[in-house]
A and B are shown apart, each in its own frame.
Chain A
């Protein structure tokens, strides 16, 4: 089959699966499982064909001549080749401002797909991890329950009916129908966590479809579409258990609000990114990767235009290209949860665990890094070519990444929720990648993106398996007459311990994933990729190197802490005591990904590495990964020499962190869920600060959320209702007043004149009638008086004038 058609087809099956499930499943879980997994496996098969085709073509050929296919999508204007696409704020006429005419397409906007070495990497790991997540999800969403609020008015009978509608499995009847009152006085009851499973499978299909769309896109707009579709899905999935509440924790964020938080935070970044897209489009007349990023003329023009044009700010040294890169980078800050927009991601743990894996490992957060890698030619404008130092945009990106890596790692060491630790770990690892892009370590960032996707998906699903086991343990314990508090949290590591023997497959795969995350030397993928980033930092930016090294140490430390608290020691609760293996559908994906977490690293070994180098990277030019992916760029990045201090630091921080963590938490495990964390004893108030995530949620709430709500109410009540409507009402009242006065004028003056005249005539007549007495004598007197008067007048006029 034609390879171009395959490229179009890759995102299609999951997207179709979404609509099929949403429209036709009618809540049938088996149907949803079959359709979604079937579609995903179909996509995986397609992607494997494409992957092997790409590998067959080879990196250098594919880099020079990517496989492309596009259709005309928007016929806007004649899109004349004007050659004077002057960007707005740039004034003056610097040399080289003009965008070459050939950059402006003449046929409007084209949508298309592309296959080049960079997205081949994604085509490899996205469908693989997504398929594993789907299989896992079909098992994970099969059991469980959570607390929901029972509102007044919904009596027992209604609750029964409600549950029947959703096909509750028989063994939940024990829990489903009794209600409890929590400390806050709310009536709560258990509800079946699997009641909307079909919908769940549909939405994760859409999610995967969005990611694949983004992967295949040959232009920024299609990428943005996939990007936003994932944003929607993460909102829907984080808030999936939207009727869930937490007993005795009224202040804790509930899933729907966590979903809204995720969506709004990323959207805040996305609107900035959209400005960047619009700007880039107006400057270059296109959004196609090939026409912007692989066109030296366009890149030179973008670099030559200074921004802002104001000479005072010129020392910033930012070009238009750099400014656009920063706007696009803002999108990454939101999507990949970099400081200061990272706060949504830990709360995103409210979603079911497969979602956490989906969002945090394989797809959504990776998208942000992919965007940076894709626009690396734009980001790195003004870098290299004999120029010392980094341009401003790269400094900012490196700074944000390195700071986030360290910042999130410090929070992670003080978290007790097994998924929250991984969430902060994800933020931290993404910080590594962002920092890598910022210091120009293109290959290392791409490599770490791939290995991290695999081992972090493994860790998330492992944690989900653990949570599941503890939840089951809790159920068993209740069956056996133990009573757990209603706010028993199966995700809290303090409630675990000793799970190594109880669920061995989960435990050992989790340990492999944890070792990869810590960068355990030589046998895990995480080591090879993190080592590459540190090596680049060693060469390019020593500050970044040391920040990342400390972050790597903390990474190893909290991983060891997590493994120790979860798997080692003795069970600290009956729930952990009663936990058991979670079944094939949840454990099989773990095994597959664990294999990946070990083996994947060997495609990116530095050729100068003793022992491993010659075996896995026979070509002295670079590792197979570098030789393939590096060809995406116009100029393949140079191979940096291996430096012993860098590698040794990398090994020391990994092993050191693990060792300290195991010493603190492994040798003397916590005795009960209420024991004080040894770190708290050591750090005191600093630990409280870390455990509360530096109070950033509270800060944002006070600075952004509440003022925004107040402004909204102000605008509606004061501006619209108060000022504008009152003005209109005043005009209406004035007009009404004028109308009434007009009526008064009509009735009083105009009508009044006629009326009064008539009335006075009548009155006069009335009064005159009394003169009609009928007596002749009186008449004669009157006539005589008249005659005398007339005669007097006559005399006066004739003689006296």
Chain B
């Protein structure tokens, strides 16, 4: 076996576990003085750059592959299928297609940038960086797993480091937080946010674990590609299946899993953990949380719900569409109501992920494999799903950049209160440019990335259901109101922070530190800005890969 063969065979495993290994190595390093801390930081950055390098290599091999890597069912690429848990036939089964590849690359890009943005963390650097790398493993694992149980393990695994990052390194709590809490008041500090995040997600996942165990037990396999054909075709059985009937069982498992993913995305009305968690998380934590973790939910919909439950998804699609619309519109409104800069950005995620869900709902109506519609509906579903996956990547980039922008100011002034800012563009021109650029991408300005995907979603969803149901068209039209308000809250943030006379409060709070971004932050932001522009001007290279898989899925 040559080195290249070895690498091809194990590249997914390496991408997943190198960060974890790196985290373990970090634990062995000493952390006694500043030199040690710097070594830890550089080592963490290095360990996060390895998966990035490997992901780029993966991308190149993927594109150059003589056989199209367009389906985990028919043509899985870089597949690994090893024995893992023979008693229940769960396997170590990895593979990629055109949907997971962009998300793997997104994760690989965001993690080093987030580590760069955490350079100033001085408290228990070693543990912090270790947790961060562990988090990367959890996320990568979700995107490469083709085994339902393995998938679930990674999916849940990511929660732990994120919980600790928010709980320990989150925003400084108000000094009287514990007192007020003792008096029964709800104090929305990092402790509240981390517990809410953890409990909410785990509570929702319980039902999913049940469903997964049940599906695996009935089907005799946890392999997602196999289940894609086995589970929807299941018609009868013994035990519970016979007692309550297959349709009921399928509907119940569908609802349990849908709720789990809906919390993660988050879909309205399961979204209230998100503003708290995002607001209290450390800057890098928010970047990853918004950039990648939310995508796990949407990825779950695309990878598991739609292929495994086409009939149930078809039935519930209008409900999902209405909830997605509510996420878009109410998310935008709630964002507009904020005076907390970070919470404003946090709510924008609800707004943007609503578009992903709207597309998924419409595609669910058409059905996996275009089971329930064909012709124009099918074409539209493909466009909508392309838009959904692209929107996941785009939101990952722009939300992470937006949180980085908030973090840069918060780090200097320790306040997120919008009324304390003003005129920052005058005293920090480079920061002003970066934040303005990012805000415009977030707002969906044509020429930058967000517009392309939002347009594809709008175009894709608009005609779906022609002649049968007007619900999707209606939802798109109402969602436009959300798009209008996206503009309103972005401009509100820009006006309060960048424009107007210089507000001396922010300057004073910075204690003599200039508000202007430094070179390290510039380096961390540059790749994101370049991606926003490139994806906005010429998205062909990415959409081509997504489309290859979507076309097969909705064939």
Contacts and interface: CB of A to CB of B under 8 A. Distances in A.
A, B assembled together: yes
B447 A716 contact: no
A239 B499 contact: yes
Nearest to B541: A75
Interface stretch (B102-110, B279-287, B407-415, B459-467): B459-467
A397 B414 CA distance: 53
A221 B433 CA distance: 26
A256 B500 contact: yes
Interface string A286-327: 000000000000000000000000000000000000000000
A228 B551 contact: no
B538 A152 contact: no
B463 A282 contact: yes
A516 B200 CA distance: 69
A324 to B, nearest CB: 12
B499 A75 contact: no
B470 A89 contact: yes
A80 B379 contact: yes
A264 to B, nearest CB: 6
B501 A150 contact: yes
A519 to B, nearest CB: 37
A73 B452 CA distance: 11
A712 B504 contact: no
Nearest to B437: A22
Interface stretch (B57-65, B76-84, B127-135, B329-337): B329-337
B272 interface: yes
A278 B272 contact: no
Contacts of B491: 235, 260, 263-264
Interface stretch (A416-424, A462-470, A722-730, A783-791): A722-730
Contacts of A148: 501
Interface stretch (B1-9, B243-251, B421-429): B421-429
A683 to B, nearest CB: 38
Interface string A81-125: 010111111110000000000000000100000000000000000
Contacts, number: 201
B336 A271 contact: no
Contacts of B386: 74, 76-77
Interface in A207-255: 221, 224-225, 227-229, 232, 235-236, 239, 242-243, 245
A79 interface: yes
Contacts of B447: 225, 228-229
- With most chain A CB atoms within 10 A of its CB, the pick from B334, B499, B508, B539 is B499
Interface stretch (B207-215, B395-403, B475-483): B475-483
Contact of A243 (B186, B272, B502): B502
B380 interface: yes
A715 B501 contact: no
Given A74-B452, A229-B447, A243-B501, A275 B540 contact: no
A274 B480 contact: yes
A73 B476 contact: no
A264 B334 contact: no
Contacts of B508: 153
B499 to A, nearest CB: 4
A87 B334 contact: no
Nearest to A235: B491
Contacts of B446: 221, 224-225, 227-229
A148 B423 CA distance: 11
Contacts of A635: none
B417 to A, nearest CB: 15
B57 to A, nearest CB: 24
B272 A720 contact: yes
A87 B466 contact: yes
B376 A264 contact: no
A88 B462 contact: yes
A82 B499 contact: no
Contacts of A232: 440, 445
Interface residues of A, number: 80
A89 B499 contact: no
Interface string B85-124: 0000000000000000000000000000000000000000
Contacts of A486: none
A78 B451 CA distance: 22
Contacts of A708: 336, 485, 488
Contacts of A73: 538-540
A543 interface: no
Interface string A706-734: 00110111011101100011001100100
A724 B547 contact: no
A717 to B, nearest CB: 7
Contacts of A674: none
Contact of A242 (B333, B375, B425): B425
A77 B383 contact: yes
Interface string B211-243: 000000000000000000000000000000000
A671 B61 CA distance: 82
A371 to B, nearest CB: 14
A716 B334 contact: yes
A272 B476 CA distance: 11
Contacts of A717: 337
A85 B333 contact: no
A278 B487 contact: no
A279 B461 CA distance: 10
A486 B316 CA distance: 65
A82 B425 contact: no
A243 B423 contact: yes
Nearest to B350: A720
Contacts of A732: 199
Contacts of B334: 712, 715-716, 719-720
B168 interface: no
B462 A282 contact: yes
A732 B196 CA distance: 9
Given A154-B502, A239-B499, A86 B466 contact: yes
B10 interface: no
Contacts of A22: 433
A308 to B, nearest CB: 11
A381 to B, nearest CB: 20
B503 A151 contact: yes
A74 B456 contact: yes
Contacts of B543: 74-76
A151 B501 contact: yes
Contacts of B505: 153
Nearest to A309: B467
Interface string B418-462: 000011011101000100100010000111000110011011001
Contacts of A166: 426
Contacts of A236: 436
Contacts of A229: 445-447
B459 A77 contact: no
B504 A154 contact: yes
- With most chain B CB atoms within 10 A of its CB, the pick from A84, A148, A149, A267 is A267
Nearest to B458: A278
A187 to B, nearest CB: 10
A162 interface: yes
Contact of B445 (A88, A228, A277, A282): A228
Given A76-B382, A716-B337, A278 B375 contact: no
A227 B540 CA distance: 22
Given A74-B543, A158-B507, A199-B429, 10 more contacts: A77-B382, A79-B379, A80-B378, A86-B466, A153-B504, A225-B446, A225-B447, A263-B487, A271-B481, A720-B275
Interface of A: 22, 27, 72-80, 82, 84-91, 108, 148-154, 158, 162, 165-166, 196, 199, 221, 224-225, 227-229, 232, 235-236, 239, 242-243, 245, 256-257, 260, 263-264, 267-268, 271-272, 274-275, 277-279, 281-283, 285, 708-709, 711-713, 715-717, 719-720, 724-725, 728-729, 732
15 contacts: A76-B547, A151-B501, A151-B502, A158-B507, A162-B426, A162-B427, A196-B426, A228-B445, A239-B499, A242-B499, A243-B501, A277-B455, A282-B376, A282-B380, A720-B275
3 tightest CB-CB pairs across the interface, nearest first?
Answer: A153-B504, A242-B499, A225-B446
